Amino acid sequence: MNQTAEALRQRLQVQRPAIAMAAHNPLAAKLAAEAGFDAIWGSGFELSASHAVPDASILPMSVHLEMMRAIAEVQPAPIVADIDTGFGNAVNLAYAVPRYAAAGCAAVVIEDKTFPKDSSLRPGGRQELVPTGEFQGKIEAARAHGGGMLVIARTEALIAGQGQEEALRRGEAYAEAGADAVLIHSKQKTPDEILAFCRAWPGRVPLVLVPTSYPQLSFADVAALGKVGLIICGNHAIRAAVAAMRDTFRSILAEGGIAGVEGRIASVADVFALQGDDRLRELEKAFLR
């Protein structure tokens, strides 16, 4: 039994949705778990951004997979792996998902766009969807070979401008194919489109939201819908890191030294602690001669 998957499944409560924080490396994931988030979003966008390349299927599966494995090794929260379109068709996916299960992931999220994907929120992005039946086959392949991981099906029908009726049709078809939850995404700047979808959703499986574009929708507002089991903070770790590094770097150059930033950055001791320095010292005492 995949214990992390079962732990995540128990947390997908529509009365109190689980909250996942994005991470692009083990340190970010450890900080998210330390803060108390219910799960880690193994974000393809964040990982691409950390490599300074577009979120457009540029990085190979091996890079993302090894990052998920490294994240699983340093913190206990369930990992929801963002595997985009699944690295190809249903056959490719059948080979990929056992590797994510072995890496310690609790769930995979696959989206119904064509490969290579384009970032959902990029202005003027290329948003093309695969046929519904083809994507149902991918869900079934992931379920059959995922070793008990949750399979979350992400429909980009609203992102592609195909409307609520098509989004609902696809979501229901994906639940019928065995998806444990359906992620519905929107790039509208208000939550109206998402709220309308949630209210119309028949409730066969929980929904998953990523409220990046409509941040005014609170977690309490989402819980009140009684339809959503998981809320993903989709890119806040990398955005926070970019803002903090820019501020620190500019200050150092502007001030002609590093003294001015010392009070607003983490101490070296704090970083040592996050690295597990105490454990290293224990090993040294036990085994070094």
Tens-digit pLDDT profile for residues 101-115: 999 999 999 999 998
Report whether pLDDT(251) > 80: yes
CA 45, 49, 55, 59 dihedral sign is: negative
pLDDT band for position 2 (50/70/90)? confident
70 pLDDT more than 80: yes
CATH code for the structural domain at 3-235:
3.20.20.60
Is 190's pLDDT higher than 90?
yes
- Annotated catalytic residues are 55
Of 111-115, 121-125, 207-211, 248-252, which range is least confident?
A: 121-125
Q: Tell me what pLDDT residue 116 has.
A: 80
Q: What is the pLDDT of residue 120?
A: 67
Query: pLDDT band at 117, cuts 50/70/90?
Result: confident
Per-residue confidence band for 124, with pLDDT thresholds at 50, 70 and 90: low
- Average pLDDT value for residue range 51-62: 95
In this predicted structure, what is the pLDDT of residue 242?
98
Whether 119 has a pLDDT exceeding 90, the answer reads no
CB 77 within 8 A of CB 38: yes
Give the mean model confidence (pLDDT) for residues 153-165: 95
Check residue 125 and give its pLDDT.
67
What are the residue ranges spanned by the domains of the chain? 3-235, 242-287
Q: Which two tokens stand for residue 185?
A: 């995404």
The answer, yes or no, to whether residue 121 has pLDDT greater than 70, is no
Across the range 32-36, mean pLDDT stands at 98
The pLDDT tens digits of the residues spanning 208-232 come to 999 999 999 999 999 999 999 999 9
Q: What per-residue confidence (pLDDT) applies to 203?
A: 85
Model-level pTM greater than 0.85?
yes
